[in-house]
């Protein structure tokens, strides 16, 4: 069991309020998060909800107990983007989705994300989706037309749009909805669509076809967590239409108005102050950054410095600072046993709608106070300073003071002789080894950067 006397508060998108989290059943706490569509490497934006909800998963386990919490996150492995990728590459769809699913798990593992208890793949739950669609038709919430099955938004008009705060009429006015002759209302959305012979397809009462995107999460969450569960999360780009449509389907199919009780949405990610896009050249996959020498633990700490409901800006400067912080903390906690639990102030900040920025401020205080055991236990709760995450920092710890001294002396010399060639040579060699060189009147400070290679210093 966990420490259930802690009160968790979460900002519920559904009510627009921060609410005290009260699980339906404290010994069976359930969370569902929308996972990736697997056709390529996960980009930095895809990683944000993974890290955010990993932190919530860790907090729930801390408070309610590991065995009492169930976390499900799906893989969308049937999708038009995957079909297009298969067509252009000439590869089998199953090969592409198997490979990209493993890439996702490997890359997220490097960011310290625990694997959810359930990771359902859409293609494994087609019969459940077909059954749910049949149920919606039987209850008058869906209709078949020209090989398609569509959800009838009018059948649930008074509730549709509550999550995103829009009315159906507003949505129609401002929507870029797919116009199709077989739709009764332009907002009706696809539950099932026909497949041609060259596309993945399954037999159904409406002919050979494949599910629409939204139905998969409704069918899988119902199967794994039940008709009503505690938390549903995802990026705020999914609020409409994906989550709105999930609520409509699930409430109508299950015959009640509950489904998920708390809805959490994380904000989007930028790179160096701009929206990430291939055209701006600031589009990174997680693997790109790992390959460039940014350790997963550093990426994780940068993510956690921003509250999940604020837009997050990934910058190289933040990464360098995070790396320096982690090296300091790792040096302080080396060989130390963690305290029996995280510091009370850390738990309080985390329980306040996942205030990770507040938690990190508390970690800095623990480090400043020299409380290595408290720092370690508290950082571990956030998935930081763990043994698994430490390989990057475990390289030989190099004493840089000698190099700092010789550069400082060379600089003093150069001031007198006006010949800066030796200073430039040393500085270039240190930068080449992956060190950031900070020079001031007071002295020289060398800060190891993401690609620091101590072997390159031997030439000096």
Q: What is the pLDDT of residues 63-85, one digit of tens each?
A: 999 999 999 999 999 999 999 99
Q: Which residue has the higher pLDDT, 439 or 344?
A: 344
Strand partners, 31: 71, 231
Task: Please tell me the least confidently modeled range out of 24-38, 187-201, 425-439.
Answer: 425-439
By C-alpha distance, which of 180, 242, 185, 196 is closest to 216?
A: 242
174 pLDDT above the threshold of 80: no
459 pLDDT above the threshold of 90: no
| SS3 call for 407 | helix
Residue 61: CB atoms within 10 Å: 18
The whole-number average pLDDT for the span 381-401 is: 85
The whole-number average pLDDT for the span 283-308 is: 96
- Write the DSSP assignment of 96-152 as a string of letters: HHHHHHHHHHHHHHHTTPPPPSB--BGGGGHHHHHHHHHHHHHTTSEEEETTEEEE-
How high is the pLDDT of residue 14? 94
> Model confidence at 177, in pLDDT bands (50, 70, 90)?
low
| Residues comprising the chain, all counted | 460
CA 435 to chain centre: 30
How high is the pLDDT of residue 176? 62
The whole-number average pLDDT for the span 141-159 is: 94
Q: What is the pTM of this model?
A: 0.86
| SS3 call for 393 | helix
Q: b/e per residue, 298-336, with b = 16+ CB within 10 A? A: bbbbbbbbbbbeeebebeeebbbbbbebbbebbebbeee
Strand partners, 235: 266
How high is the pLDDT of residue 72? 98
Helix, strand and coil percent figures for the chain, each rounded to 5: 45, 15, 35
The whole-number average pLDDT for the span 354-376 is: 98
How high is the pLDDT of residue 396? 53
457 pLDDT above the threshold of 90: no
Instruction: Please report the beta strands in 153-200, taking only residues with DSSP state E, as ranges in sequence order.
Output: 189-194
> Model confidence at 452, in pLDDT bands (50, 70, 90)?
confident
How high is the pLDDT of residue 166? 86
95 pLDDT above the threshold of 60: yes
Q: What is the pLDDT of residues 214-228, one digit of tens each?
A: 999 999 999 999 999
Q: Hey, which of 46-50, 81-85, 168-172, 413-417 has the most confident mean pLDDT?
A: 46-50
**Domains of the chain from N-terminus onward:** 9-266 (3.40.50.620), 293-393 (no CATH), 401-457 (no CATH)
Residue 20: CB atoms within 10 Å: 9
- Quote the tokens at residue 264: 């959490």
3 pLDDT above the threshold of 70: no
Q: Is residue 207 within 8 Å of 146, Cβ to Cβ?
A: no
Q: What is the pLDDT of residues 402-437, one digit of tens each?
A: 888 889 999 999 999 999 999 899 999 898 888 888
The whole-number average pLDDT for the span 259-286 is: 94
395 pLDDT above the threshold of 70: no
| Residue 248 DSSP symbol | H
Q: Which residue has the higher pLDDT, 212 or 4?
A: 212
Task: Please tell me the least confidently modeled range out of 200-209, 279-288, 302-311, 376-385.
Answer: 279-288
> Model confidence at 157, in pLDDT bands (50, 70, 90)?
confident
């Amino acid at each position: 069991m966990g420490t259930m006397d802690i009160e968790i508060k979460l900002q519920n998108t559904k009510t627009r309020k921060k609410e005290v989290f009260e699980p339906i059943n404290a010994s069976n706490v359930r969370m569902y998060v929308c996972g990736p569509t697997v056709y390529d490497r996960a980009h930095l934006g895809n990683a944000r909800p993974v890290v955010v909800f990993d932190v919530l998963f860790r907090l729930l386990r801390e408070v309610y107990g590991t065995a009492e919490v169930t976390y499900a996150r799906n893989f969308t492995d049937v999708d038009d983007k995957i079909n297009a990728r298969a067509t252009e590459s000439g590869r089998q769809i199953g090969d592409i989705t198997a490979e990209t699913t493993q890439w996702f798990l490997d890359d997220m593992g490097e960011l310290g994300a625990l694997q959810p208890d359930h990771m359902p793949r859409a293609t494994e739950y087609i019969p459940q989706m077909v059954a749910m669609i049949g149920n919606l038709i039987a209850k008058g919430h869906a209709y078949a037309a020209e090989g398609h099955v569509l959800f009838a938004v009018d059948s649930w008009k008074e509730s549709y749009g509550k999550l995103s705060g829009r009315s159906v009429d507003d949505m129609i006015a401002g929507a870029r909805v797919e116009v199709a002759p077989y739709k009764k209302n332009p907002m009706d959305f696809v539950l099932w669509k026909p497949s041609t012979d060259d596309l993945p397809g399954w037999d159904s009462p409406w002919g050979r076809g494949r599910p629409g995107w939204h139905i998969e999460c409704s069918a899988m969450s119902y199967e794994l967590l039940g008709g009503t569960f505690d938390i549903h999360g995802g990026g705020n780009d999914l609020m409409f239409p994906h989550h709105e449509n999930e609520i409509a389907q699930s409430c109508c199919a299950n015959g009640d108005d509950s489904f998920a009780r708390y809805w959490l949405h994380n904000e989007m990610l930028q790179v160096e102050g701009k929206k990430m896009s291939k055209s701006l050249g600031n589009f990174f996959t997680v693997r790109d950054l790992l390959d460039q020498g940014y350790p997963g633990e550093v990426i994780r700490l940068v993510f956690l410095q921003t509250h999940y409901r604020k837009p997050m800006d990934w910058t190289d400067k933040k990464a360098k600072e995070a790396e320096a912080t982690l090296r300091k903390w790792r040096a302080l906690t080396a060989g130390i046993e963690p305290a029996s639990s995280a510091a009370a102030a850390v738990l309080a900040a985390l329980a306040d709608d996942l205030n990770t920025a507040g938690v990190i401020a508390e970690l800095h205080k623990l480090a400043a106070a020299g409380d290595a055991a408290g720092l370690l236990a508290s950082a571990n709760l956030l998935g930081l300073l763990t043994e698994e995450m430490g390989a990057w920092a475990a390289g030989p710890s190099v004493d840089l003071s000698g190099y700092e001294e010789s550069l400082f002396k060379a600089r003093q010399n150069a001031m007198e002789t006006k010949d800066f060639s030796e200073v430039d040579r040393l500085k270039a060699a240190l930068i080449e080894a992956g060190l950031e060189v900070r020079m001031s009147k007071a002295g020289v400070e060398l800060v190891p950067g993401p690609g620091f290679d101590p072997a390159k210093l031997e030439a000096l």
